[in-house]
Amino acid sequence: MLRATRWTARGGLLAAGTAAALLAVAVPATASTAALYCGAGRGLTAESAIQGAVDDARNSASGDGRFQCELVGAPQIFEVFDDPYFGHVFRASVNMSCE
């Protein structure tokens, strides 16, 4: 009787270990590999500020080995009339999802 209990316990531990190993492998495979990057830019036009912000986010992502990026949401644009160095400028901020 003692021998049967040992085999049952070993079988249960083996099954639990196998299930844990399969779960550990399956979870990262289903996880998203995209990361969120924020970029900021400044320019004399809103378009140039947005382009600077996109370039900033892409440069940050490329440093992590991520080269395919998509905008997340709309760019935020701020018009500044009293910049101490440039006077009237636009500032922009974007969020990008990069893989």
Model confidence pLDDT, tens digit, residues 19-30: 555 445 444 444
Q: Please name the amino acid found at residue 88.
A: H
Q: How far is the C-alpha of 23 from the C-alpha of 75, rounded, in Å?
A: 39
Q: How far is the C-alpha of 26 from the C-alpha of 30, rounded, in Å?
A: 6
Percent of the chain with pLDDT over 90: 63
pLDDT in tens, 4-13: 555 555 555 4
**CATH assignment, 35-98:** 3.10.28
Q: How far is the C-alpha of 49 from the C-alpha of 98, rounded, in Å?
A: 20
Average pLDDT across the chain, whole number: 81
* Token output for 12: 């249960």
Percent of the chain with pLDDT over 70: 68
